[in-house]
């Protein structure tokens, strides 16, 4: 039993690292595509890892008046939550039969932890910019979580009340993708917008807003803690599109060429995220809240009703 | 609600130069704003009085890297007003071309920066990409990309080559085309509308009350422009119109600037077509004692210069007023009541400074023979620019640098 446990832990760690590598590749794709859209050349493939390595080698500065422990532990907690979420999702994709009932719910909870950890860390830093950033992040979470959860509930309803990621994938293998219905398409776009907000990308990079808040929540972070935050964001960049592939596009099958097919689906979502990011200005926090609570939530409810009618 | 202070500056990613805006906020809402300028004081006016009349032209050129021709323009107008000399026609046309080229590149730069400030980095990159040909034109015509050193009391320092005009016409057409595309992309974007319309409204009354200048006042619907109000150069001899826009919000300011680019391009084209032949310098012989004022329309508004001479070789008093000095206090009227995000946008009327590249003629001292003319040197400079573009265009250089960093690590 103990050996079994250790093996599971090792498997989880390996999956989390694999997701990080996928995230680094995605991050490079993001930067390269962005550069091409903006008529620039873009960085070489190892730039994302080079950035993180560089940050790890820098000094850790803790501002005067900051709550030292909270300030330094917050990124670690964020990364821990993120790594667990990545491992859970990766595990469900590699071996769908192993998961447990309710892992969707656990995943949804875990995905909020990085943002909450950032809020706590920013509040502990004692910087007015970070404080404004933290309050914006909080409002943004309140905004996007509601439609996001309704869409996930819709998916769960469509797959016959399955609360297990592996079963959601298998149901789609039998009945076709969840995406191929009106409610699925609506859900896809809502998940895409929420992913944009969760990742802190334009038009919803409001909590970080370099030009207004000098990085907002991450203003005071430097060196290794900042590297941890970057790693968390990088993993999130891989996990969110993977989650969308899992929930709506039939997951990824790890047999021969279907891995490539799975990667292609993943890539489509990544490129959509990059395109949205590069063709929009940043919105204001009140506009973002109105947007998520107004039209987006209304659409998600419509999607749920459509799913109830079997559309 | 508790009031806190959010500092915008003195050093902030939003501001390319040091300025300090103290935002007094309740949560996100700005309830009051305090402005501090003067961090960049360099004692230019005093310095100018220690230089000769001719040297001061280059001193004032360094006041701003972007308005690098508006300040010398206003200064030479002031000196000419003092000595009462008449500038030859060809010099007037050349001055107009340089001033308008400066306006075009300055406005394109602003469009890019405004895009950056609003988080729209694609506009940032494309705006600056479109600005590049304008700088190429400047380099071709004057030899320099930014500090042109073309103005001199009584005329201009260098003549333009009429053979270049066909090429400039072609490039100007490209600039007009890409600007029209930018106008379409920026003015029709619904998200941009949501972010900029009704934000930072400067009413007509406030615009006049604060004495705002340039695109800032024209965006409030007031056709205030030195080029028509007190015509200098060749502006009264070519066909163009003052762009105004109703509203006074950020959107109106963007619209005015974008449309002004097209008007300026029109002026440049007409000036090249109508360019008369003749001398380019009035050759001022002596400076009488007295006072002179000169004002020119810089990209940001009216630049005002006052000089007083005592008949000697330099000014005894030189006073400069730049347009931002008048525009910044209007934040009091435009920023209060908006959120921090909007204030960042409203205050984004700042310009970065650029270094300039040096130009010279290589002469062999023993024989006084010209080895390389200005034109050949200009070719060298263009080649250097091309090489730089090539060098940084290929990823190998960047790759090498990063590999080095990695190996060091």
> pLDDT per residue over B162-212, tens digit each?
888 889 899 899 889 988 888 888 788 888 888 888 888 888 888 888 888
Q: Which residues of A fall within a CB distance of 8 Å from B394?
A: 41
Residues 183-202 of B with CB under 8 A from A: 189, 191-192, 194-195
Tell me the β-bridge partners of B339.
B29
ipTM for the complex shown: 0.78
Is A36 within 8 Å of chain B by CB?
Answer: no
pLDDT at B353: 37
Is B278 within 8 Å of chain A by CB?
Answer: no
Nearest to A44 by CA among A20, A17, A24, A58: A24
- The model's confidence at residue B141, banded by pLDDT at 50, 70 and 90, is confident
Tokens of A111: 């995905």
Mean pLDDT score, B119-145: 87
> pLDDT per residue over B221-244, tens digit each?
888 888 888 888 888 888 888 888
With a pLDDT cut of 90, the percent of chain B lying above it is 3
Is B399 within 8 Å of chain A by CB?
Answer: yes
Residue B328's domain spans which residues?
A: 44-346
* Angstrom distance (rounded) from CA B367 to CA B11: 53
Tell me the β-bridge partners of A25.
none
Number of folded domains that form chain A: 1
pLDDT at B352: 34
Do B369 and B324 lie in one domain? The reply is: no
Residues 42-61 of A with CB under 8 A from B: 42-44, 46-47, 50, 53-54, 57
- Average pLDDT value over all residues in chain B: 81
Sign of CA dihedral A127, A132, A134, A137: negative
* Angstrom distance (rounded) from CA B291 to CA A299: 70
Q: Which residues of B fall within a CB distance of 8 Å from A210?
A: 13
Residue A136's domain spans which residues?
A: 2-308
Do B28 and B148 lie in one domain? The reply is: no
Whether the predicted pLDDT of B357 surpasses 50: no
Residues A132, B340: C-beta atoms closer than 8 Å: yes
- B14, B24, B116, B341, best to mutate vs chain A, most A CBs in 10 Å: B341
- The model's confidence at residue B302, banded by pLDDT at 50, 70 and 90, is confident
* Angstrom distance (rounded) from CA A127 to CA A66: 8
Is B395 within 8 Å of chain A by CB?
Answer: yes
pLDDT at B356: 25
Do B7 and B107 lie in one domain? The reply is: no
Do B391 and B287 lie in one domain? The reply is: no
Burial-class residue B44 by CB neighbours within 10 Å (0-12, 13-18, 19+). middle
Residues B7, A282: C-beta atoms closer than 8 Å: no
pLDDT at B409: 53
Whether the predicted pLDDT of B366 surpasses 50: yes
Q: Which residues of B fall within a CB distance of 8 Å from A286?
A: 339
Whether the predicted pLDDT of B364 surpasses 60: no
Is B130 within 8 Å of chain A by CB?
Answer: no
Do B298 and B390 lie in one domain? The reply is: no
Q: B364 vs B26, which has greater pLDDT?
A: B26
pLDDT at B350: 40
* Angstrom distance (rounded) from CA B157 to CA B161: 13
Is A287 within 8 Å of chain B by CB?
Answer: yes
Q: Which residues of A fall within a CB distance of 8 Å from B118?
A: 211, 281-282
Do B158 and B217 lie in one domain? The reply is: yes
Number of folded domains that form chain B: 3
Is B38 within 8 Å of chain A by CB?
Answer: no
Residues B121, A278: C-beta atoms closer than 8 Å: yes
Is A222 within 8 Å of chain B by CB?
Answer: no
Residues B341, A284: C-beta atoms closer than 8 Å: yes
Tell me the CATH number at B214: 1.10.645.10
Q: B340 vs B219, which has greater pLDDT?
A: B219
Is A40 within 8 Å of chain B by CB?
Answer: yes
B358 in a structural domain: no
pLDDT at B351: 41
Is B28 within 8 Å of chain A by CB?
Answer: yes
With a pLDDT cut of 70, the percent of chain B lying above it is 87
Q: DSSP readout, A44-75?
A: -TTHHHHHHHHHHTSPP---TTS-HHHHHHHH
B162 in a structural domain: yes
Nearest to B402 among A47, A205, A280 (CB): A47
pLDDT at A222: 87
- The model's confidence at residue B361, banded by pLDDT at 50, 70 and 90, is very low
Tokens of A61: 């500065």
pLDDT at B392: 66
Tens of each residue's pLDDT in chain A, 311 residues: 678 888 888 888 888 898 899 999 999 999 999 998 888 888 999 999 999 999 998 988 888 888 888 888 999 999 999 998 998 888 888 877 777 778 888 888 899 999 899 899 888 888 888 888 888 888 889 889 989 999 988 888 888 777 887 778 778 877 777 777 888 888 889 999 999 888 888 888 887 777 777 777 888 888 899 999 999 999 999 999 988 888 888 777 777 777 888 888 889 999 999 999 888 888 888 888 888 898 999 999 998 888 888 77
Is B122 within 8 Å of chain A by CB?
Answer: yes
* Angstrom distance (rounded) from CA B84 to CA B401: 58
pLDDT at B207: 86
Q: Which residues of B fall within a CB distance of 8 Å from A46?
A: 402, 406
Do B308 and B382 lie in one domain? The reply is: no
Residues B191, A205: C-beta atoms closer than 8 Å: no
Do B270 and B313 lie in one domain? The reply is: yes
Chain B closest CA to A174's CA: distance in Å? 41
């Amino acid at each position: 039993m103990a050996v079994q446990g250790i093996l599971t832990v090792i498997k989880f760690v390996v999956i989390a690292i694999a997701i990080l590598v996928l995230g680094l590749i995605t991050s490079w794709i993001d930067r390269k595509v962005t550069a091409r859209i903006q008529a620039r050349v873009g960085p070489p493939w190892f730039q994302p890892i080079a950035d993180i390595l560089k940050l790890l080698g820098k000094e850790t500065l803790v501002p005067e008046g900051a709550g030292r422990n909270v300030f330094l532990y917050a990124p670690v907690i964020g990364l821990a939550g993120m790594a667990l979420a990545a491992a859970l999702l990766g595990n469900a994709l590699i071996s769908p039969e192993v998961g447990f009932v309710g892992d969707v719910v656990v995943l949804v909870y875990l995905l909020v932890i990085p943002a909450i950890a950032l809020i706590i860390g920013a509040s502990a830093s004692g910087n007015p910019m970070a404080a404004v950033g933290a309050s914006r992040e909080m409002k943004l979470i309140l905004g996007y979580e509601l439609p996001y959860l309704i869409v996930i509930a819709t998916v769960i309803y469509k797959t016959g009340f399955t609360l297990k990621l592996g079963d959601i994938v298998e149901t789609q293998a039998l009945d076709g993708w969840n995406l191929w219905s009106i409610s699925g398409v609506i859900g896809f776009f809502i998940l895409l917008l929420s992913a944009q907000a969760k990742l802190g990308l334009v038009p919803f990079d409001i909590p970080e807003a370099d030009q207004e808040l000098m990085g907002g929540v991450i203003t005071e972070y430097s060196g290794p803690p900042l590297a941890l935050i970057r790693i968390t964001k990088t993993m999130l960049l891989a996990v969110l599109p993977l989650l969308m592939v899992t929930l709506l596009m039939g997951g990824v099958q790890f047999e021969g060429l279907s891995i490539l097919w799975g990667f292609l689906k993943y890539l489509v979502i990544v490129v959509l995220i990059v395109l949205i990011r590069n063709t929009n200005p940043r919105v204001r926090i009140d506009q973002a809240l109105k947007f998520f609570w107004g039209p987006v939530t209304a659409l998600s409810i419509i999607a749920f009703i459509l799913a109830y009618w079997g559309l | 609600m508790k009031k806190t202070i959010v500092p915008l500056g003195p050093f902030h990613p939003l501001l390319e130069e040091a300025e300090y805006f103290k935002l007094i906020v309740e949560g996100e809402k700005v309830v009051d704003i305090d402005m501090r300028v003067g961090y960049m004081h360099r004692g230019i006016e005093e310095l100018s009085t220690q230089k000769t009349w001719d040297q001061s032209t280059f001193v004032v050129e360094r006041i701003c890297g972007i308005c690098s021709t508006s300040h010398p323009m206003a200064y030479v107008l002031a000196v000419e007003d003092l000595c009462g000399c008449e500038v030859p026609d060809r010099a007037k046309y050349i001055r107009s071309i340089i001033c308008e080229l400066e306006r075009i590149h300055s406005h394109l730069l602003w469009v890019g920066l405004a895009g950056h400030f609003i988080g729209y980095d694609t506009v940032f990159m494309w705006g600056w990409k479109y600005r590049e040909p304008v700088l190429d034109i400047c380099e071709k015509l004057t030899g320099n990309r930014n500090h042109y050193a073309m103005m001199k009391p009584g005329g201009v320092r260098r003549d333009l080559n009429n053979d270049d005009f066909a090429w400039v016409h072609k490039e100007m057409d490209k600039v007009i085309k890409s600007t029209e595309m930018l106008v379409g992309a920026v003015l029709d974007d619904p998200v941009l509308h949501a972010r900029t319309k009704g934000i930072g409204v400067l009413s007509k009354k406030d615009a006049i009350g604060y004495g705002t200048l340039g695109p800032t006042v024209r965006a409030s619907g007031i056709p205030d422009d030195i080029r028509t109000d007190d015509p200098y150069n060749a502006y009264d001899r070519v066909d163009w119109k003052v762009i105004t826009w109703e509203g006074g919000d950020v959107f109106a300011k963007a619209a005015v600037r974008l449309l002004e680019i097209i008007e300026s391009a029109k002026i440049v084209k007409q000036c090249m077509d109508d360019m008369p032949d003749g001398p380019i310098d009035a050759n001022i012989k002596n400076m009488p004692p007295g006072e002179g004022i000169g004002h020119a329309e810089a990209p940001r508004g009216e630049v005002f210069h006052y000089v007083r001479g005592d008949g000697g070789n330099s000014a005894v008093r030189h006073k400069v007023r730049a347009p931002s000095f008048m525009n910044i206090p209007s934040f009091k009227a435009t920023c209060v009541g908006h959120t921090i995000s909007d204030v960042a946008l409203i205050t984004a009327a700042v310009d970065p400074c650029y270094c300039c590249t040096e130009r010279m003629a290589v002469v062999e001292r023993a024989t006084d023979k010209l080895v390389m003319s200005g034109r050949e040197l200009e070719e060298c400079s263009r080649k250097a620019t091309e090489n730089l573009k090539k060098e940084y265009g290929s990823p190998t250089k960047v790759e090498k640098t990063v590999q080095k960093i990695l190996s060091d690590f």
